[in-house]
Chain A
Amino acid sequence: MSIWLEEGVNKLVKLTRIQLFWIVATIEIVMAVWLRISPAIAQAKQDAWLSIFIGGLMGLVITFFVVHLSMLHPNESLAEFSQKLLGRWLGRLAIWPYLTAWFILAGDVLRTFADFVHLILLDSTPVWVIMLMMLALMIYMTLVGGISGIARFCEIAGPVTIAALIVSFLLNLGNIEWHYMKPFYADSGWQAIVKASYPSASFFGESLMLLVIVSYLEKPKKAMATSLLSVAVTILFVIAASVMCLLVFGPNVSAKLRFPYFMLVRTIDIFNFIQNLDIFVIFIWVFGVFAKLSFYLFLTCSEMARSTRIKDWRKLVWFSAPMIFVIAAIIPNEDSIELLQKLWRLIVIPVCAIGVPLILWIVTLVKKEPRHA
C-alpha cells in the first residue's frame, strides 16, 4: 500500500476509466495533429499515413509496456514503486530523467502554443504575455482542480476537439482530390516510411506518463484496455488528419506548410459563406493545449512531491510553474524547438519509455521470485 494513500492525501482523487481515456487522447492528439503531420509528409510524401500508422504501432507497444509495468504495482506511481524496487536513492534518481523530460515538454508546448497564437492571432501582443496568461490558467486549474479537475476538463475538451476534427474533415470533402494519394509506396520506399515513423512513434510514446496516471485509476485492473484504446483513437485521428491534408493539398504543398491542419480548416469554403473557420478550431485547440499544460504541471509537482516525500504537492506548483515558464521563455527560436523534439526522440523515449521501465520491470520480476520459492 502506498504511503501517501495511507496519509490520505490522495484519497479523494480517483479517476474513472473514461477520464483516463480522455486525458490520454486529448493531450496526445493536440500535439500530434498540430506538429507531426507536415514533417511526416515531408519525409514519406503521400505514404505519410502509413508511417504514422507504423509509428502508432510502436506507440501502442510502448503504451502496453508502461501500463503493464504500472499494473504490477497497483495504486503506486512511478516515484513510489521505483523507490520500492531500487531503494530510496536509486529510486529517486530514476525519477530525474522523467521530470526533466516533462519539464522540457511542457516548456516546449507552452512556447510553441504562444508562438502559434502570436503568429496567427495576436501578432502585436508580446509572446511572454500570451505565455503568462496561459500560465495563470494552468496554475489555477492545477491548484484548484488537481488531477480530477484536469480529468473532468479533458472529458469536455477531448470530445470537443474530436468533434471539431470530424466537422473540419466533413466540410472539406468537397476539396478532396483522390489522386493525391497515388502512387502508393513507390515514391518513398520502405526506408523513408520507416524513418518517418519513428518521430511519430515518439509523439505517441508520450503515453509514458501512464506510469504515473494509472495509479490514480479507480479500477487499476482495467487500465490496459482503456489506455490502448485511447492511444489507438489518437492514432486514428492523426492518420485521418494527415490523409485529409494530403487529399486537399497534395504531398508537395502539405510538406511546405508549417501547420497544414490549420490551413486545411482555412480552405473550407462552402457556398462562399461558410469560411474562415480556423478561428473556431484554434479556439478549441487552446482547450487541448491548456489541458495538456495543466496536466504536465500537475504531473511534475505530484511526482516531485512523492519522490521527495513532501506532503503537499500543491506547494511545488510555485516551483514547477515558473520553471516551465523559464524553459519556454529561454527557447531562442524555431531551431531549438526542433532540437528539443530531437532530444525527446533520441534520449527521452529510449530512456524513459524503454530503458528505465525495462529495468524496473526486470527488478519487479526478480523480487517476485523469492515469494514463490
Chain B
Amino acid sequence: MIRALKLGLMLVLLLSLATGCWNLREPDELSFIMAAGLDYNEEGKLEVTSQIAVPAALSGSPEGSGGNKKSFIVVSGTGKNVMDAGQSLQAQLPRTLFYAHRQTILLGERLVRNGVGSLTDMFIRNPKSEMRSSILVVKGGTAKDLLNIEPLFDPYISTMLVREQSAVGLKPYYYRQFLSDALSQTIQPLLPAVEVIPNNRYRYVGSAILNKDDNLKLAGYLNAKESSYANWIIGRQTAVTITAHVRPGKEEVSLSAKALSKKLQFKMQDPPRITVTLTGLGIMTENNSSLNPSKTSDLKHIEQALSQETQKEVQAMVNKVQKQYKADVFGFGEYIHRDHPMHWKSLKSKWSTVFPSLRITIKVDLKCKDPGQTNSSIDSML
C-alpha cells in the first residue's frame, strides 16, 4: 500500500516535470519562416527579410472565406548582424520566429558585392537554424523585392525557387554544400542566381561566382547557358538542351541531352594540363535542317555539329571563368588535391595564380539516342 502510494507520488512528480512546461510552444504561437533574404539597404545597413507563412490562408478551399487572403507576409528589419536584425523583425510579429521550415536563403546583389563571409555563421551556429535551405543570389536587386513576388503555383516563393532549379536541370544547391565549398581549400562557390523582372515575376538568370579568398565577394555572373555548362563540369547539371547549326543557312537541330557526365584527365606538368570530356545522351527534339537523322551519315554529321558547337561554347565559358573571373568554380584544384595529393602540396598556396594559367582542353561528345518521332525535317517534306 505504502509502496503503491510512493510510486504514485513519484509518477505525479515526474509527470509534472516531464511535460516540459518551460518549453510549451503551441504552433499558433509561432511564425514559420519559409524564406529568408539578406540585403544591405541604401544606408549600407544589413536588412534581413523573412517570408512568413500565414497558415489560415492555406486551410480550406480557395473559394472559401479565406480564399483571397495572401498565403504569406513579408517583414524586414535592420540590425548589426543576422540575429540582431531578427530582433527588429520579431518586434513586428506577435508570434515567435521559427526557423526550422526555412527552405531558401536569398542574398541581395548589394550584399554579395560587399561580401557574404561574416554573415554565414548564424546559419550554422544557431541550433534552431536549418542546413537544408537552398541558397540563391538575387542579381541586380534585393532579396526583399524577390520575396514580395506573388508566387505562381505554390503558396510560397521558396518552394518555387527550389523547384525552379530542378526545372532548369540543376540539382538544388543547399546551404551545407555552399558551406563545404566555402570552407574547402580552393573551390569558389557558384550560386544559382535569379532576378526580379517587371510584372511581379522573377527569372532564373544563371549563377553568381563568389570569391572566397575575398570575404565571399561577388566575382561575376554566368548567364543561364554558361552556368549549365559550368554545372555540367561540376556535376550538378542533370539535363541541358543544346541547339546547333548543322549546315549553312538557317538549318538548326536541337537535342535534349540527359545522362550528362564528365571525365577529367590531368597531366601534372607546369602548369598542369586538364582535359575535360563532357558526354551527353539525348533525344532530338527539333530539326529544321535538310538532314535526315535516320540515316547514319546524317546523324553522325548532326552529332558532330552539336558536339563542336557545344565544345566552342564551353571553351568560351571556361576561358571567361579562367581569365576574366580567375575563380576556380569547377573545383579543379580539389581534383588535383584528391588524385595527386603530393603534387598538390606545392600548388596549393599559389593556386589562385596557377588556375588562370591552366591549360584546359574541352572535348564534347554528344550522342543522339533517338531521332524523335519523325525522320527528316517536316519543313523539307512540304
Contacts and interface: CB of A to CB of B under 8 A. Distances in A.
Interface of A: 119-126, 129, 132-133, 136-137, 140, 179, 182-183, 185-187, 248-250, 252-253, 256-257, 263, 266-267, 269, 275-276
B183 A253 contact: yes
A256 B22 contact: no
A256 B183 CA distance: 10
Interface of B: 10, 13-14, 17-18, 20, 22-23, 100, 124, 127, 130-132, 176, 179-180, 183-184, 334, 337-339, 341-342, 344-345
A35 B66 CA distance: 49
B131 A133 contact: no
Contacts of A132: 17
Nearest to B340: A183
Contact of A269 (B132, B339, B344): B132
Contacts of A133: 14, 17-18
B176 A179 contact: no
A267 B176 CA distance: 9
B183 A252 contact: yes
B100 A253 contact: no
B180 A187 contact: no
Contacts of B342: 186
Chain A binding surface SS class = helix
B176 A253 contact: yes
Contacts of A140: 10
A119 B125 CA distance: 11
A137 B132 CA distance: 35
Contact of A122 (B13, B23, B176, B334): B23
Q: Which 5 A-B pairs have the closest CB atoms?
A: A186-B341, A252-B183, A183-B341, A182-B338, A125-B22
Given A182-B338, A275-B132, 17 more contacts: A124-B22, A125-B20, A133-B14, A133-B18, A136-B14, A183-B338, A183-B339, A185-B341, A186-B345, A248-B176, A252-B183, A252-B184, A253-B176, A253-B180, A256-B124, A263-B131, A267-B131
A261 B209 CA distance: 31
B268 to A, nearest CB: 14
A105 to B, nearest CB: 25
A182 B339 contact: yes
A148 to B, nearest CB: 20
Contacts of B23: 121-125
A282 to B, nearest CB: 12
A5 B228 CA distance: 76
B132 A266 contact: yes
